Amino acid sequence: MKRKLRMGMVGGGKDAFIGAVHRIAAFMDGKIELVCGAFSIDPVISKESGEELFVSPDRVYATYEEMIAKEAQLPEGERMDFLTIVTPNFLHFGPAKLALENGFDVVVEKPMTVSLEEAKELQETVERTGRTLCLTHTYSGYPMIKQAKAMVKEGHFGKIRKIVVEYPQGWLSRLSEREGNAGAAWRADPKRSGKSLVMGDIGTHAAHLAEYVSGLRITEVCADLSTMVEGRLLDDDGSVLLRFEDKAKGVLMASQISAGEENAVRIRIYGEKGGLEWANEDPNNLIIKMLDQPRQLYRTGNAYAAPFTLSSFATHNTRIPAGHPEGLLESFANIYRNFALTVSAKREGKQPTPEMLDFPNVYDGVRGMAFIENVVNNNEGTEKWTKFVV
């Protein structure tokens, strides 16, 4: 493409959290510009947000329906190319479906929808329209996560036996939803959040990471969900025993009442010959633990000699030389860059490379929604283990 891709936004106004992170990530590589938005549920905040972001006032819209309808009528050289959706969970499906049906590509926050049924409908829409949908599972964009995935895939650890993934946070240790915290209020409301708070908000990140790095799919679950904070309407803590393809076993812990924790995502995977460990709070390190050998530390951005050479997926997603920290914003930007490269390649009639196509998509969104529903159903039922149904 000889120009930047034009982005529109639903949500992400002055009253929002993650929208601003999306803009930093989208702009990092100079491939994307913001041209329009319905930035807030409040039209005044939407207008003020548009002004602050230097968006032309005639392209700041009151609703996403108006935005999609009007943008679709603009000439090809002006209209937005894709829509980023950064609203509460219950407002993902509507704009995503409408945008796809009107010829726009989509970037949407997780969880992709609030039900598996909606998720499958989006999959059908993507397949029928041929458009691209990107789901922002943030942690999958890190170079050392790419390296971990590549090492598992090439058989470095032998057959995988055990996958342990954790996402503890502490920010919902109190009843914050009743104390004026808007982000907590919609997350803890079943109508706006979905069937599970903890699994929708962070458990899906952990489940995606486990399947992405291991290359194995979850086949059965045994779940225990709890509401630890009195008065809360949804769960805030969960432990899930997992069975994967190829007889691998796993444990997933997602918790928002782990008082004192920040965003302590961690994954450990063990095969017959050794294992790996990666943590979000130290993301440029990948610890490799092989049987009968000293531990090794792989670090982002190094030009190691064979047989330690970093994979093409790790280097493709690295921006600066070793020792200069890359973090969550760069990981997020990797997702946007790969999405932008894929959309541009498709528009030019070219086949995107595997590295370009390496971002979470509609199929990951369907698995994420299936994960939530399978865990909730298992927790409510009487069977110890239940099959993972999609």
Instruction: Candidates 8, 88, 141, 143: give the one binding ligand NAI (CB under 6 A).
Output: 88
Whether 196 contacts 375, CB under 8 Å: yes
Tell me which residues in 183-242 interact with ligand NAI (CB under 6 A): 183, 186, 201
Q: Rounded to an integer, what distance in angstroms lies between the CA atom of residue 219 and that of residue 245?
A: 6
CA end-to-end distance (rounded Å), the chain? 37
In this structure, are residues 266 and 255 in contact, taking their beta carbons and an 8 Å threshold?
no
Q: Residue 147 and residue 302: Cα distance in Å, rounded? A: 12
- Residue 86 engages ligand NAI in binding (rule: CB under 6 A): yes
Residue from the set 8, 13, 50, 360 that interacts with ligand NAI by CB under 6 A = 13
Q: Is 109 in the site for ligand NAI (CB under 6 A)?
A: yes
Residue among 50, 82, 89, 244 that touches ligand NAI (CB under 6 A):
89
Among 18, 74, 229, 251, binds ligand NAI (CB under 6 A): 18
| Cα–Cα distance measured from residue 263 to residue 276, given in angstroms and rounded to the nearest whole number | 20
Answer positive or negative: Cα dihedral of 138, 361, 148, 299.
negative
**Per-residue contact string for residues 122-161; x = within reach of ligand NAI by CB under 6 A:** --------------x-x-----------------------
- Of all helices (H) and strands (E), which one includes residue 253? strand 249-255
Stretch of residues binding ligand NAI (CB under 6 A), selected from 6-14, 23-31, 219-227, 303-311: 6-14
Q: Does 64 bind ligand NAI (CB under 6 A)?
A: yes
Among 110, 208, 232, 268, binds ligand NAI (CB under 6 A): 110
Contact between 255 and 237 under an 8 Å Cβ cutoff? The reply is: yes
CA pair distance 35, 55, nearest whole angstrom = 6
Enclosing H/E stretch for 286: strand 285-290
Nearer to ligand NAI, 65 or 127 (CB): 65
Residues at the interface with ligand NAI (CB under 6 A) = 10-13, 15-19, 38, 40-41, 64, 86-89, 91, 109-110, 136, 138, 182-183, 186, 201
